[in-house]
Chains A and B, each alone.
Chain A
């Protein structure tokens, strides 16, 4: 069970049960939808971006515990960050869950490091990264739909 415990950490289970920023911010000016056709996970990420800074962020949708907790912790992590800072955070997060290419400018992940266990569950990497890809899409385009496939 220890390996399962690595994946389903209390912080993840808590954010799954009580997701933070689980709403559409009133002043949101950017939005994207993320969809994982494999399991049907679907999230919308809303951003209020001003002067290159993410002033507010929220998400809505449905998905598994990993994807929902990841979306929740992501919103908490990027609020108040510049677009560039959020991008660096994503790069480091992606490295954490995939063990892929090391980021050019690694940053401290803080609570996000709770997803380190995902690396041992390759089929769940998409769950953990869905919200982040959606955030990226919302930042890159004014409106868009991003799919993990």
Chain B
């Protein structure tokens, strides 16, 4: 049963975005109905992974129960239907990102694989020794390590844009780093550890003024902000399905057609070829050139279902609701004695990263867990960010469209309890 679908047929015809009803949304997520350690689950670890609405779970189940077949291969009924569904999913993703052409949408395992694909395909083909790649000081390890691997392979250089004490990228420093040796900029749209929303459109314009292509890591952005890759103008955009209420193991690399066509394949195998002999192989056209092997078909369909679900609620409505919830949570956390927010950028999304005076984040995580609250305690795969702020780890509460003010209140109450235990 799909709650989302039922709602489209209600007699009132009121679009859901007209009134953002968080309690109705919560009912769409089966996992949120459970109790943890006897307390209602308060899931605030959305930057790590998001929960899945019933419509996504049903889509995956329906695929395996009624549609399962390999794609782009069989002439039989099921294969044709699975192929059509998968290519529909690609078009759904293209519309979601406002890509010019579905062929620019490459299915990958996640944002990590998308970045690795660009590093290994584009990087090895078009960068050389001494060329520079610019990233920021707030990148997730997945937007650091692939470039370090490339650096080892070709002798490129990695340049890092510093951030200020609020966790904001220093645009002037960024401008100063761009030079004739800069061959690629790769930057997060939203920081997973700080919540900072980077002015990526401006960063892209500045890079383009020098003819430098830009990759945007949108893993933390797509669940919270409407994204238009044509408006941004970036050459590459990556995100992970599982942070967008879709299954794990599926993600997207968007790339401009011209670049993707010039890039060599990333992996070899089935589906990415048009003809193979032992002497020579002709590669398939876009997007299949980059999709070797049988993909995560159910995941791709689940991703499309998640996008349709979010679109139906309204991406702008979600962003507005979350913005207000983030403001409420920021103010509420400020009332907790000894709490210091790490990441206080003017433009933020979803993430509340903080430390509590005298209490290690790991201990906070354990105590909150006993109250049913799921947060992340650690370095959030962004060790350089921790070093920048001189902390070994932070507590990170990250919000999604199904979180409520009441849950924020539970978090604040539990943090007061932490203070009592460690008083």
Query: Is A38 a contact partner of B370 (Cβ separation < 8 A)?
Result: no
Give residues of chain B (360-376) contacting chain A, Cβ–Cβ below 8 Å.
360-363, 366-367, 370
Chain A proximity of B24: nearest CB distance (Å): 34
Query: Is A65 a contact partner of B392 (Cβ separation < 8 A)?
Result: no
Query: Is A39 a contact partner of B377 (Cβ separation < 8 A)?
Result: yes
Chain A proximity of B381: nearest CB distance (Å): 11
Query: Is B393 a contact partner of A39 (Cβ separation < 8 A)?
Result: yes
Query: Is B370 a contact partner of A3 (Cβ separation < 8 A)?
Result: yes
Interface residues on B, range: 10 to 19
Q: Given A13-B421, A13-B422, A65-B360, check contact A40 B366 (CB 8 Å).
A: no
Q: Given A3-B370, A4-B421, A13-B422, check contact A66 B392 (CB 8 Å).
A: no
Q: Given A4-B421, A13-B421, check contact A127 B370 (CB 8 Å).
A: no
Chain B proximity of A76: nearest CB distance (Å): 21
Query: Is B421 a contact partner of A127 (Cβ separation < 8 A)?
Result: no
The answer to the question of B378 belonging to the interface, with a C-beta cut-off of 8 Å to chain A, is yes
Cα–Cα, bound, A142→B371 (Å) = 44
* Cβ contacts under 8 Å, B421 to chain A: 4, 8, 13
Closest A residue to B393 by beta carbon equals: A40
Give residues of chain B (264-313) contacting chain A, Cβ–Cβ below 8 Å.
none
Closest B residue to A40 by beta carbon equals: B392
The answer to the question of A63 belonging to the interface, with a C-beta cut-off of 8 Å to chain B, is yes
* Cβ contacts under 8 Å, A64 to chain B: 360-363
Closest A residue to B423 by beta carbon equals: A13
Number of A interface residues at 8 Å Cβ cutoff, please give it: 22
The answer to the question of A7 belonging to the interface, with a C-beta cut-off of 8 Å to chain B, is yes
Chain A proximity of B398: nearest CB distance (Å): 18
Cα–Cα, bound, A3→B371 (Å) = 11
Cα–Cα, bound, A127→B379 (Å) = 16
Cα–Cα, bound, A8→B422 (Å) = 9
Chain B proximity of A148: nearest CB distance (Å): 12
Chain A proximity of B394: nearest CB distance (Å): 10
Give residues of chain B (319-367) contacting chain A, Cβ–Cβ below 8 Å.
359-363, 366-367
Query: Is B362 a contact partner of A41 (Cβ separation < 8 A)?
Result: yes
Cα–Cα, bound, A127→B392 (Å) = 15
Query: Is A127 a contact partner of B422 (Cβ separation < 8 A)?
Result: no
Query: Is A127 a contact partner of B362 (Cβ separation < 8 A)?
Result: yes
The answer to the question of A124 belonging to the interface, with a C-beta cut-off of 8 Å to chain B, is yes
Interface string of A104-118 (1 = CB under 8 A from B): 000000000000000
Q: Given A8-B421, A13-B422, A41-B392, check contact A66 B363 (CB 8 Å).
A: yes
* Cβ contacts under 8 Å, B378 to chain A: 38-40
The answer to the question of B216 belonging to the interface, with a C-beta cut-off of 8 Å to chain A, is no
Cα–Cα, bound, A68→B422 (Å) = 14
The answer to the question of B386 belonging to the interface, with a C-beta cut-off of 8 Å to chain A, is yes
A-B residue pairs in contact (CB < 8 Å), sample of 12: A4-B366, A4-B421, A7-B366, A8-B422, A13-B421, A39-B377, A40-B378, A41-B362, A41-B392, A62-B392, A64-B362, A65-B360
A4-B370, A39-B360 are known; give 19 further A-B pairs, CB within 8 A: A1-B370, A3-B370, A4-B421, A8-B367, A8-B421, A8-B422, A38-B378, A39-B361, A39-B392, A40-B383, A40-B386, A40-B392, A41-B392, A42-B392, A62-B392, A63-B362, A64-B363, A65-B359, A68-B360
